[in-house]
């Protein structure tokens, strides 16, 4: 049972966010403050700058969403914050404020695994036609994560594969930097690729056709770097940069579609009734990648579902919703919960019933 509206706080990386959700999942208020301007001069996220920005802005953002929702802290049913994985400074800021609110208001505190929040976002009422019942296959694509996960229930996850080196979003950022694009690189590279020829440079497709569901992007990134270095000295012509961007994006889309097909086959063998492929994380906003994954899903008899773009990137709506899902199962956390820079989605303590696993991992071997 969820006793009242839930305040969610997200500070795991470089977005400072808060949201208030009704117990039925309706969004009463939300706000996300990007730190892009603070980090852009450094070409990436600086942990100390991120933590200080969270500390400076989070109290104001929480007050803002509470006022927008028309609630006092005493009117909340629970408060939740990202407890990991992420940058420890930001996690400490968000969880510290959330625990203070829990103590002051006398309400439950829920520490949310940031990856679980992404995994459950699609279950927000109204996002997926007909809802998103368990089980479904999740493809999590972001700057820090790239993995295929069978989502069997709240707290019940089986990791089918992941990246062996770079996350896909990280690869986008690094290639964008090679092309002289601004940070964050993913959106900038997609815009540039729209003007390029995706067949000009035959970049490799790492892991394409290999058994399993793992990913690799370091070789592709190296191939792009070598191509850039072979160009004449001086500023890279815009048409050449656009062709490199388009060719790189096409290679990534092909790799993700191939890996998704392998994961869908394994998932489908274990869960014949599961017919949803959910894609989440910031890279899910890329239109070329979404189209490739939609085609791969359809070819395996699955339907692709993706949250709206604003809920693909880090946000507090997903944190509050994950808390609602856990509170419905009677799951809350002690106030001495320690934030975790590393917190795998398939860690044993993610399962509400550790001794009961519906489908053992061996069922995914086909």
Q: Is the same domain home to 315 and 296? A: no
Apex 277 CA angle, 280 and 250, nearest 5? 70
Contact assessment for residue 151 and residue 289, using Cβ atoms and an 8 Å cutoff: no
What is the count of structural domains for the chain? Answer: 2
Q: Tell me how far apart the alpha carbons of residues 294 and 197 are, in angstroms, rounded to a whole number.
A: 22
Q: Is the same domain home to 261 and 325? A: no
Q: Is the same domain home to 42 and 152? A: no
pLDDT of residue 349: 75
Q: Is the same domain home to 239 and 294? A: yes
Residue 207 is part of which domain span? 135-306
Report the CATH number at residue 62.
Answer: 3.30.420.40
Q: Tell me how far apart the alpha carbons of residues 279 and 79 are, in angstroms, rounded to a whole number.
A: 27
One-character DSSP codes across 176-241: HHHTTPPSSHHHHHHHHHTTS-TTSS----TTTT-SSS-B--HHHHHHHHHHHHHSPSSSPPHHHH
Q: Is the same domain home to 327 and 289? A: no
Q: Is the same domain home to 326 and 285? A: no
**Beta strands 6-10; 78-84: pairing state:** parallel
One-character DSSP codes across 132-160: -PSPEEEEEESSS-EEEEEEEETTEEEEE
Q: What is the token pair recorded at 274?
A: 């599961």
Residue 364 is assigned to a structural domain of this protein: no
Contact assessment for residue 132 and residue 278, using Cβ atoms and an 8 Å cutoff: yes
Q: Is the same domain home to 175 and 207? A: yes
Q: Is the same domain home to 204 and 63? A: no
Q: Is the same domain home to 166 and 251? A: yes
List the one residue out of 100, 49, 104 whose CA is nearest residue 74: 104
Residue 16 is assigned to a structural domain of this protein: yes
Residue 211 is assigned to a structural domain of this protein: yes
The DSSP secondary-structure symbol of 31 reads: E
Residue 83 is assigned to a structural domain of this protein: yes
Residue 128 is assigned to a structural domain of this protein: no
Domain boundary among 306, 330, 361: 306
pLDDT beneath 50, residues of the chain? 353-366
Q: Is the same domain home to 281 and 322? A: no
Q: What is the token pair recorded at 13?
A: 């990386």
Q: Tell me how far apart the alpha carbons of residues 183 and 42 are, in angstroms, rounded to a whole number.
A: 9
Residue 358 is assigned to a structural domain of this protein: no
Q: What is the token pair recorded at 335?
A: 């106030």
Q: Is the same domain home to 284 and 190? A: yes
Residue 357 is assigned to a structural domain of this protein: no
Q: Is the same domain home to 261 and 279? A: yes
How would you label 88-114 residue by residue, b for 16+ Cβ within 10 Å and e otherwise?
bbbbbbbbbbbbebbeebebbbbbbbb
At 197, give phi and psi (nearest 5°). -100, 110
Residue 247 is assigned to a structural domain of this protein: yes
């Amino acid at each position: 049972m969820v006793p009242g509206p839930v305040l969610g706080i997200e500070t795991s990386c470089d977005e400072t966010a808060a949201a208030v959700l009704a117990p039925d999942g309706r969004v009463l208020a939300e706000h996300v403050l990007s730190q892009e301007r603070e980090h852009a001069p450094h070409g990436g996220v600086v942990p100390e700058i991120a933590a200080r920005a969270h500390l400076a802005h989070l109290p104001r953002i929480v007050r803002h969403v509470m006022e927008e929702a028309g609630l006092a802290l005493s009117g909340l049913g629970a408060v939740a914050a990202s407890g990991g994985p992420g940058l420890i400074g930001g996690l400490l800021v968000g969880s510290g404020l959330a625990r203070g609110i829990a103590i002051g208001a006398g309400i439950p505190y829920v520490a949310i695994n940031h990856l679980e929040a992404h995994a459950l976002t699609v279950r927000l009422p109204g996002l997926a036609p007909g809802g998103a019942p368990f089980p479904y296959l999740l493809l999590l694509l972001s700057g820090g994560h790239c993995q295929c996960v069978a989502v069997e229930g709240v707290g019940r996850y089986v990791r089918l594969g992941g990246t062996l080196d770079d996350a896909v979003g990280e690869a986008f950022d690094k290639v964008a930097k090679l092309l002289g694009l601004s940070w964050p690189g993913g959106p900038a590279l997609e815009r540039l690729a729209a003007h390029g020829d995706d067949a000009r440079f035959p970049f490799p497709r790492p892991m394409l056709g290999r058994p399993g569901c793992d990913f690799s992007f370091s070789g592709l990134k190296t191939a792009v770097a070598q191509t850039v270095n072979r160009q004449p000295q001086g500023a890279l012509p815009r048409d050449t940069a656009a062709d490199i961007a388009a060719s790189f994006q096409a290679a990534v889309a092909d790799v993700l579609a191939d890996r998704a097909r392998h994961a869908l086959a394994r998932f489908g063998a274990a869960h014949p009734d599961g017919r949803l492929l959910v894609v989440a994380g910031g890279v899910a906003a890329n239109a070329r990648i979404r189209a490739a994954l939609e085609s791969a899903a359809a070819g395996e008899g699955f339907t692709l579902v993706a949250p709206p773009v604003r809920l693909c990137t880090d946000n507090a709506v997903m944190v509050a919703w994950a808390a609602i899902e856990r509170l419905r199962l009677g799951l809350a956390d002690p106030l001495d919960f320690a934030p975790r820079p590393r917190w795998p989605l398939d860690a044993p303590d993610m399962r509400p019933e550790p001794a009961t696993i519906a489908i053992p991992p061996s069922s995914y071997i086909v």
